[in-house]
Amino acid sequence: MDVVTCHSTSEAETEAIAHHLAQRLTPGSLIALIGEVGTGKTVFARGIIHGLGHPDLYITSPTFTLINTYTQGRLSVYHFDLYRLESTEALLASGAEEYLNGDGVCLVEWPRILLERGVADYLEVLLTAPSYEAMTHRTIQLRPYGPASQRLIQPFLCPPS
Ligand SMILES: Nc1ncnc2c1ncn2[C@@H]1O[C@H](COP(=O)(O)OP(=O)(O)OP(=O)(O)O)[C@@H](O)[C@H]1O
Ligand SMILES: [Mg+2]
């Protein structure tokens, strides 16, 4: 499948790429945000949330709450951070899976446990910070796993930096 690769040199540019993607999202879109600590998963999530028209100013990782919900935009957003989740049982107990089949958009940081259970269709957003580049450089790859997520990025033009 086609992969789209964008380059960002600032937090604002990462938000702009996410904002652009937000315009293409549809009910049920699932975005898996993958990357090391501090690569910009939450920054990317914030760009999507604002891009969908949610007015909330402070958007932070739901590290302790597991899920943050935004309901005022074009599509509801369920923002997950599964970093602290230890087991599939804990995932099921959290009720998180119910959101996946809803009409909102799910953004999932640290999605490994969820993806291991198998999900029908998702767009992977892989953020990497090459150590040999400037501290603020990020490579952002959009990789579709399924036909619905493929439609999200066909075509996708990275916003000019
Ligand atoms: N090009 C860039 N894109 C995004 N963030 C950047 C960029 N350059 C520098 N940064 C900084 O990197 C940090 C990214 O933080 P963020 O909380 O989004 O990371 P994260 O991947 O969600 O981490 P965690 O795994 O802890 O949840 C911010 O402090 C941001 O200012
Ligand atoms: Mg985060």
CATH for 83: 3.40.50.300
Instruction: Indicate whether 157 belongs to any domain.
Output: no
Compute the distance from residue 158 Cα to the ligand 2 centre, in Å.
Answer: 22
User: For residue 79, which ligand has an atom nearest its CA?
Assistant: 2
Q: What is the pTM of this model?
A: 0.95
Reported as a pLDDT band with limits 50, 70 and 90, residue 1 is low
**Tell me: the pLDDT tens digits for 82-132?**
998 888 888 888 777 888 888 999 999 999 999 998 888 999 999 999 776
Is 108 inside a domain boundary?
yes
Containing structural domain, residue 96: 4-152
Per the listing, tokens 């767009």 go with 123
Query: Is 69 inside any structural domain?
Result: yes
Cβ of residue 39 lying under 6 Å from some atom of ligand 1 = yes
**Ligand 1, atom 16, residue with closest C-alpha:** 40
Q: Which of 39, 84, 138 to mutate to test the pocket of ligand 1 (most atoms within 8 A of CB)?
A: 39
- The response to whether residue 35 sits with its C-beta less than 6 Å from ligand 1 reads yes
Instruction: Please state, in angstroms and rounded to a whole number, the distance separating the CA atoms of residues 49 and 79.
Output: 9
CB burial string 115-149: b at 16+ within 10 A, e below? beeebebbbbbbbbbeeeeeeebbbbebbbbeebb
Question: Residue 159: inside a domain, yes or no?
Answer: no
Whether 38 lines ligand 1, by a CB cut-off of 6 Å, is yes
Beta strands in the chain (DSSP E): 4-8, 30-34, 67-70, 77-81, 105-109, 122-128, 138-145
Environment class of 105 (CB within 10 Å of its CB; exposed 0-12, middle 13-18, buried 19+): buried
3 — alpha (psi -120 to 50), left (phi > 0) or beta?
beta
Q: How many CB atoms lie within 10 A of CB 161?
A: 12
Q: C-alpha distances in angstroms, 130 versus 28, 31, 111, 127?
A: 32, 22, 22, 10
Residue 160 within a domain? no
Structural domain total, the chain: 1
| Closest ligand 1 atom number to CA of residue 46 | 18
Q: What's the pLDDT score for residue 132?
A: 67
Q: Considering the domain boundaries, does residue 141 fall inside one? A: yes
Classified as helix, coil or strand, 124 is strand
Mean pLDDT for 5-27 is 97
Banded model confidence at residue 18, pLDDT cuts 50, 70, 90: very high
Residue with the smallest CA separation from ligand 1 atom 8 is: 136
Q: Name which residue leads in pLDDT, 8 or 133.
A: 8
Asked whether residue 152 carries a pLDDT value surpassing 70, the answer given is: yes
**Rounded average pLDDT over 132-140:** 85
Question: What pLDDT is stored for residue 96 in this prediction?
Answer: 79
